[in-house]
Structure 1
Amino acid sequence: MTKDQQTVLSVINHMTSSFHAGDIDAVMKTYEARQSIAFEPGNPVSDAAIARQAFQQFSEMAPEFTYQGHEVIVEGDLAVHIAPWRMTAKGADGTDMSASGLSVAVLRRQSDGSWKMVIDNPYGNRLLAETAQ
């Protein structure tokens, strides 16, 4: 991996570990102020306050994410991160939950050289699943 690819991957890993720790402030710092996050398939959220609230509510389920590989493509000041993921969590009633998907995130290099997410879609495989039906 190039240095830029490694840096992009470290942003993703930092966001994930911050989320696991319940540090929503650190999670939000991995995103640009103007971002789009799909907390539900096909329904992205662009308001940072709503995104923060959604992350907070989701973290109460104590989700644990694992990735089954990472692909990072960088071109200039843009990057895309693609990774299949699995999640386990506890529902509000204490029942075990699980889900999986394909994360597709677009990141942009900032003026200070760091990278932040602009688009985060953990449901990147949704259209494939719909066409297979």
Structure 2
Amino acid sequence: MSERARQPEDLGRLFVERANAGDVEGLVALYEPDAVLAVPGGQVQGAALIREFYAKLLADGPRFAPGEGQPALRKGNLALTSTLLPGGNATAEVARRQPDGSWRWVVDQPTVLPPG
């Protein structure tokens, strides 16, 4: 079983570790089953489409550099997570505490700033 995010801030680190390992299923496990992920040109929703997106993304073996995770903003069982990325971009995500106390993303915007 893959490590679970014990704190919302763990999600970004786990993403980089799993993406660099080519672990598509591990990436999908970071999201709630009906989560929404922003992708180029729109968004995908649900584990099957998130899995399909990451399988295509990781097919060529890209490497992901860790960014500078920011402290999560928490309100009850919700948290806003974000990471400052190398190159000046940032991510923004909404995570939810799960019944077992772990955290998973509900909404993920991996690129906040438009290119250019």
Is TM more than 0.5 here? Answer: yes
In 1, Cα distance between equivalents of 2:88 and 2:45: 23
Q: Secondary structure at the match of 2:12?
A: helix
Larger % of strand: which? 1
Structure 1 outlier segments of 4+, above 4 Å: none
Q: Which runs of 5+ in 1 are unaligned?
A: 1-5, 87-98
Greater CA drift, 24-33 or 56-65: 56-65
Shift of 1:65: 2.6
User: What TM-score results when the alignment is normalised by the length of structure 2?
Assistant: 0.82
SS at match of 2:72: strand
Q: How does 1:1-133 map to 2 (within 5 A)?
A: 7-40=7-40, 43-61=42-60, 62-86=62-86, 101-126=89-114
What's the Cα RMSD here? 2.1
Highest CA radius of gyration, 1 or 2? 1
Number of matched residues?
110
CA deviations over 1:33-69 (Å, ceiling 9, x no partner): 010001226x111032121111011112323232034
The C-alpha deviation readout for 1:16-49, integer Å capped at 9, x for no partner, is 21111011111111100010001226x1110321
Percent sequence identity over matched residues?
A: 23
CA–CA distance in structure 1, aligned partners of residues 11 and 83 of structure 2: 13
Structure 1 length-normalised TM: 0.73
- The answer (yes or no) to whether the contact 1:36–1:119 under 8 Å persists in 2 is yes
